[in-house]
Structure 1
Amino acid sequence: MNFGRDSLALESGAIELADEDRRRLEEAFHRLEHPSFAAHLAHVIGTPVDKGLKLIPPRWHGRFSRSLQTAIGRLLKTVVNRLGRGRPRSERFYRYLGRSAGALGGSLGGPALLVELPVTTWIMLAAIAEIARSEGEDLSLLETRLACLQVFALGGRSKSDDAADTGYYGLRLALDASVLQASRHSRAGAPAINQMMLIVSERFGVVVSEKAAAEMLPLAGAVGGALINDLFIRHFQHMARSHFAIRRLERRYGRDCIEAEYRKLKSVRREG
């Protein structure tokens, strides 16, 4: 991939970030290192999500997993062929669509989640692409479109992630390897993408399970479904804004510089 530098990224010597760029990096850091959708949900609805998990029939877990894999697999083709073709839309526009889909799913009950999920995922993907474009990304590039897909992996943590303290750049390293290989192929079905899809599906599945659990709680229904979907889409919009803000900074200062500054922030947090 191309991690080029402009005139601010000097060949030698320390690079000092502009105040506004440093602020954006710090803001992105805090969002990307604390991507807990469940905690945010619990704060808003006042009920721990794990109570909702107990209400989901065991047989549904497998169905959700298969539905998730199918939805993302189909959307990958859309990523390659369609993203960026429509006229620019606001973040509010996509949240409105998400609330509408959530209200419909909530009013129809549990099984409708399997239908609502692909619709909501597509809405989020379009919203993510819009944020990427606003941060100076070229959506005609396969690399950029796959970077949009990466956002789904940034919005949740699995237990193995927590144990390894993977963090943002640890995950980027795993995903970027697949993107680099995929970018060398003309077809979206390049084998390298399959590995990236496994990582994306696993982590996105964590958040989807939390979303489903919340919709099983007593507040579920049209209003509850709309509220939860609004939070769901906002969550990934925040992840996308942070991810593409960092990519913009990398283009300006160089990836090595921004990664080093990011790791400094992480080191300070650990020491604190």
Structure 2
Amino acid sequence: MKFTANDLLILHQAADVLENPSFSSRVTKTVGGAVEKTIAILPAQVSLSLNDITRTALEKSLEGAIFTLNSRKSSIPFNKTHKFFAGLSGAIGGAFGLTAITIELPISTTIMLRSIADIARFYGENLSHSNTKMACLEVFALSDTTRHGSETGYYAIRSILAKGLTDASTQLGKPALTKEGASIVNKALNQIAARFSIPVSEKIAAQSIPVLGAIGGATINFLFISYFQDLAHAHFSLRRLERNYTPELVKLNYQKHLAELPLLVR
């Protein structure tokens, strides 16, 4: 089956989003300064507990963000509404500094996951399916695909996460979650949290810059949710193409597009 010109354009645009600049580069362009340098001087207790913080944020946001949305396909995702509320939670976090991160991050993550689910629904995903719920969480693991050594690229990360997400979605699809099932879901959440903690550390670093305060916190969160909304649009547009064609054909054309890009662009 051959791609239509429009579908091929959608695939190329998705690839360009998923394989290009990280969240930190967006922040640096907007507020100035190298975010990576600020990460290096974050308080030790924050750095050490970052995985736990992000994992807890993902866990708390899962049911509240997705199960309250109607599974019916929507016409347009409410991106601006979700950006407003994410900015508001960022303003609160920015006003109180690092001490508020354990409260602010679960709130902003829930807002972002709800937005991601809204985008998934727009692309024809059924939110009542456990597979879709895990695909929404998967978006948090897709940031900055260039940082993981041999584990580079969108499809490489999806491949690494595939078994864990499939096992977790199977457990979530059962009438009741057993102790063993909960352990399987927790393992998948840990995999996602390990990757999500990278942009979270960049977000915390940017928000910890003293001169930014509440306004800066709102700006950072606005950039944060915008970044993940872009990833979600790319991710779920590819999943829709995979349903319309085949996953193998989509992946082949995706990799062909990357191979044709100049090295400087990639």
Which TM-score applies when normalising by structure 1? 0.86
- 1:3 counterpart residue number: none
- Contact (CA 8 Å) 2:72, 2:126: kept in 1 or not? no
C-alpha change, 1:158 and 1:32, in structure 2 (3 Å) is closer
Cα deviations across residues 109-134 of structure 1 (Å, max 9, x unaligned)? 22112211010000000000000011
- Contact (CA 8 Å) 2:140, 2:192: kept in 1 or not? yes
C-alpha change, 1:259 and 1:157, in structure 2 (3 Å) is closer
Cα deviations across residues 166-217 of structure 1 (Å, max 9, x unaligned)? 2111111122222322333315545443332222111100000000011112
In the TM superposition, what is the alpha-carbon distance from 1:250 to its structure 2 partner? 0.7
- Contact (CA 8 Å) 2:94, 2:208: kept in 1 or not? no
Q: Secondary structure at the match of 1:237?
A: helix
Q: 1:234 aligns with which of 226, 234, 239?
A: 226
Q: Secondary structure at the match of 1:100?
A: helix
Between 1 and 2, higher relative CO (CA 8 Å, sep ≥ 6) is seen in: 1
- 1:254 counterpart residue number: 246
Whether 1:29 aligns to 2:29 is no
Query: How far, CA to CA, are the matches of 1:247 and 1:128 in structure 2?
Result: 14
**Matches for 1:45-194 after TM superposition, within 5 Å:** 45-78=31-64, 81-84=67-70, 90-157=78-145, 159=147, 161=148, 163-185=149-171, 186=174, 187=176, 189-194=181-186
- Contact (CA 8 Å) 1:94, 1:123: kept in 2 or not? yes
Query: How far, CA to CA, are the matches of 2:263 and 2:32 in structure 1?
Result: 32
Q: 1:211 aligns with which of 199, 203, 206?
A: 203
Amino acid at match of 1:250: E
Cα deviations across residues 137-174 of structure 1 (Å, max 9, x unaligned)? 11111101110010000123484x1x105211111112
Amino acid at match of 1:139: L
- Contact (CA 8 Å) 1:102, 1:116: kept in 2 or not? yes
Consecutive unaligned residues in structure 2, runs of 5 or more: none
Query: How far, CA to CA, are the matches of 1:183 and 1:218 in structure 2?
Result: 42
Q: Secondary structure at the match of 2:211?
A: coil
Query: How far, CA to CA, are the matches of 2:27 and 2:210 in structure 1?
Result: 14
- 1:265 counterpart residue number: 257
Query: How far, CA to CA, are the matches of 2:194 and 2:82 in structure 1?
Result: 24
Query: How far, CA to CA, are the matches of 2:30 and 2:222 in structure 1?
Result: 11
Name whichever of 234-243 and 187-196 sits farther off.
187-196
In the TM superposition, what is the alpha-carbon distance from 1:103 to its structure 2 partner? 0.7
Q: Secondary structure at the match of 2:125?
A: coil
Query: How far, CA to CA, are the matches of 1:271 and 1:70 in structure 2?
Result: 38
In the TM superposition, what is the alpha-carbon distance from 1:265 to its structure 2 partner? 1.5
Consecutive unaligned residues in structure 1, runs of 5 or more: 1-14
C-alpha change, 1:271 and 1:63, in structure 2 (3 Å) is closer
Cα deviations across residues 41-96 of structure 1 (Å, max 9, x unaligned)? 11111211023224421222123332222222233344674444699661000000
- Contact (CA 8 Å) 1:51, 1:217: kept in 2 or not? no
Query: How far, CA to CA, are the matches of 2:155 and 2:145 in structure 1?
Result: 14
- Contact (CA 8 Å) 2:146, 2:152: kept in 1 or not? no
- Aligned-residue RMSD, C-alpha: 2.3
Cα deviations across residues 199-246 of structure 1 (Å, max 9, x unaligned)? 211110000000001111243211100000000000000000000000
